[in-house]
A and B are shown apart, each in its own frame.
Chain A
């Protein structure tokens, strides 16, 4: 059952188009992440959903109720939407205690005082801040403020949880802890959640599905494993940490099919098609650095595997591993290996299953 339905959503600021027709269909209880670099339109989409940003066209409905329709002019005010939005800056009201911050949405909903107290205590318990009700926001650490912000949206049981880079102001360790808390809360409450981030690791770790956005468009929407292993475009691949993009001329084929790919200096390799095509294409192949196996120059390569010969130009010590910059023809590729090699000629071996073909 679809809980959030966004269709052909557009947003223009004068001449600049920020959103070029976004389509999203989020089933109830799903954790969906909008992933992309700054300026890709992910926050605009979230704020349009919350009613804090008025779109230029399209359609938004939550739980079957139309919130926005560009055609008939429907626009439901943000305060009527009953969505829980957690801001990047937390936006806790500095003149109110933690308890008052949480009480405000309840008072607006005319919840009786004793009921309010019970719900506030429960929500604070949920984020492990039961003893902090009477503190002011400035008396809390960044991580605690972030959890209060979360509790403030959970306390009135919103129909949807919207999170705008809620972890970006925390340090690395706290970020990982908060990630786990957020995910378990979301699962426990079964809340449909839209999460905005530019951090691929966060997106991969928490989401049921990820929508990768580029310049106001959703370029790929899929499960985290699929996004990671089968990025549809070079942009997506780049964003989820792939590297070693080499231009190739590739044969046509179905999605997932292993086909021939010819490098620009003539070598023929075998790679997996990420997207089906009906004809040959000019595109890129990509192999993650850790999938490139290094062997002494001239070593034999297992049957069916790809082979490239190159020259190690530089080695970087990375702790457990070594990073290598290797010249293949006129291009540099990077590889990682636990084995130590000195600069000089080397042979690279990698499996066609780990080699992806991208059309653009």
Chain B
């Protein structure tokens, strides 16, 4: 039955059957093999950083030393450490303030850009999302250059009124930088719900006598509540996890956050306190996990806010009338202050020897900063490394995560549901914690030392952190593909893996591409997990910027920032182009 023989030339009679494809036992073994391999690889990838951290948090000495004793002593020491408690308090205060700022700006943008007839909505939308493409590190540096203690505008103000007009060091300054940089998250979630809102609800409010702002406040805004809650928790978690902002605007005045505490105790100290770092990392992990659980609980029963009905309608906008121009002016001021001036400052700084209001930038123009960055082999290597990590790493990660999604969503694998939970777990792991975890994993695992100091360990760590994002994009698309398309492939003789590669994956190509785009941009920006993992030879833009920054070499930092922004810009334009030309297929 396994010889697919029919006499050649016999093409007229469709009687008699062609045997099923031979080697189907091999196909079955292949399917089961791939499914188990995927599950095990995912488990190892997620547990590699998690295990050592949990283990270390319970050991009385560094995890590579023998004869360690298990105890909760580290947690006791940590919770009685005044510095740690202050850092946690600072992190919470910062997270609350930044979340409040991001919610006000993000919701405001969403309401006015999606529900009203505000002018210049097109460019505003672009500006509203722009900070998302930027590294937090670059953003913090850019703010520092214009609003920092020696910043361009700060000095300018001081010249006018005699005293520094503001002080960006401290909770307030950090919250503004973190909050405005996370505004796109809030805007993104709220704008999609605002776009889908039922305009007749607003019309009804107008008809009973409410003015345009009153309608926005009393009808449009409450309808966005689930999106606001969701986005607010994302911003809160994001701020807890951020390293760049407290590093640039807190540490110089002795203000430590949860992340800078981990950073300085784990890296800065001459003899790192392994136990304490481990315990702190575990606490941060638990904290983020609890917040994620709260987020999912709060979003249950959000159905009563669903105003989207099957009826297709063109969303009508609230006419602002006389308020149109004043509101638009407020938005212009916001974008100039939070986006354009910092970007302008960092670009100018990269082309000058100093940047100060006392001297015209034209008099100090130079390309030395770029010459330094591109001429120094280590700095140049960090750029090429970043590009390799982002492109190769994102490509391999996309393919791997696609297989995870296929096993979790499109196979008879016994632990498919468990694999999905596993794939979502890295959301709970902040970058710096992942970095510490992988670093320790390499000390513990006998075969991992050859990864040490290579860009491969960076790719592995970044890929682990990227699983939830890419998984979300791919799994959502997989759900859209009808199961009868796989079933029909199976019934005509294709095994599970053949069905995946020939039918399912080609159908979700757009999702694979957007997953790749997300991962590429994420990998290019990532720095927090890299600070513990890089070594001479495997530096990336983020780590090089951090070390140049601590040396006070701001010109080179600015040049690297501009280069990173340029790479991002080129990539985003290419991605847009590819998406557009592929749409007709």
CA distance A285 to B274 in the complex (A): 88
Question: Are A157 and B21 closer than 8 Å at their CB atoms?
Answer: no
Question: Are A153 and B506 closer than 8 Å at their CB atoms?
Answer: no
A15 at the interface (CB under 8 A from B): no
CA distance A225 to B290 in the complex (A): 67
Question: Are A93 and B485 closer than 8 Å at their CB atoms?
Answer: yes
B27 at the interface (CB under 8 A from A): yes
Using Cβ atoms and an 8 Å threshold, which residues of chain A touch B498? 79, 108
Interface string of B15-35 (1 = CB under 8 A from A): 111111110100110000000
> For window 49-68 of chain A, which residues contact chain B by CB distance below 8 Å?
50-52, 65
Using Cβ atoms and an 8 Å threshold, which residues of chain B touch A152? 488, 492
With known contacts A77-B495, A79-B495, A111-B18, A104–B11 Cβ distance under 8 A: no
Which segment of A82-90, A203-211, A271-279 sits at the interface? A82-90
Using Cβ atoms and an 8 Å threshold, which residues of chain A touch B489? 93, 104
Question: Are A105 and B492 closer than 8 Å at their CB atoms?
Answer: yes
Question: Are A154 and B17 closer than 8 Å at their CB atoms?
Answer: no
Question: Are B24 and A80 closer than 8 Å at their CB atoms?
Answer: yes
B420 to chain A, nearest CB (A): 21
Using Cβ atoms and an 8 Å threshold, which residues of chain B touch A190? 15
Using Cβ atoms and an 8 Å threshold, which residues of chain B touch A156? 17-18, 492-493
With known contacts A84-B492, A156-B493, A189–B506 Cβ distance under 8 A: no
Using Cβ atoms and an 8 Å threshold, which residues of chain A touch B492? 79, 84, 104-105, 108, 152-153, 156
> For window 99-140 of chain A, which residues contact chain B by CB distance below 8 Å?
104-106, 108-111, 115, 118-119, 122-123, 126
CB closest chain-A residue, reference B11: A118
User: Helix, strand, loop or mixed for chain B's interface?
Assistant: loop
CB closest chain-B residue, reference A162: B491
A114 to chain B, nearest CB (A): 9
Question: Are A79 and B507 closer than 8 Å at their CB atoms?
Answer: no
Question: Are A105 and B507 closer than 8 Å at their CB atoms?
Answer: no
A20 at the interface (CB under 8 A from B): no
Question: Are B502 and A157 closer than 8 Å at their CB atoms?
Answer: no
Question: Are B491 and A84 closer than 8 Å at their CB atoms?
Answer: yes
Instruction: Name A126's contact: one of B14, B494, B502 (CB within 8 Å).
Output: B14
Using Cβ atoms and an 8 Å threshold, which residues of chain B touch A106? 18
CA distance A93 to B487 in the complex (A): 11
Instruction: Name B493's contact: one of A93, A109, A118, A119 (CB within 8 Å).
Output: A109
B490 at the interface (CB under 8 A from A): yes
A199 to chain B, nearest CB (A): 20
With known contacts A79-B24, A79-B27, A91-B485, A109–B4 Cβ distance under 8 A: yes
Question: Are B507 and A52 closer than 8 Å at their CB atoms?
Answer: no
CA distance A77 to B412 in the complex (A): 12
Question: Are B12 and A85 closer than 8 Å at their CB atoms?
Answer: no
Chain A to chain B contacts (Cβ below 8 Å), 24 pairs: A50-B491, A52-B491, A65-B1, A77-B490, A78-B487, A78-B491, A79-B491, A79-B498, A82-B20, A82-B493, A91-B487, A93-B489, A95-B506, A104-B492, A108-B21, A108-B494, A109-B21, A115-B8, A119-B11, A123-B14, A156-B492, A157-B18, A159-B17, A189-B14
Which A residues lie at the B interface, using CB under 8 A? 50-52, 65, 77-85, 87-89, 91, 93-95, 104-106, 108-111, 115, 118-119, 122-123, 126, 152-154, 156-159, 162, 189-190
- Extra A-B contacts (14), CB below 8 Å, given A95-B506, A152-B488: A50-B491, A52-B487, A80-B21, A80-B493, A82-B19, A84-B492, A104-B494, A105-B493, A108-B498, A109-B493, A119-B11, A156-B18, A157-B16, A189-B15
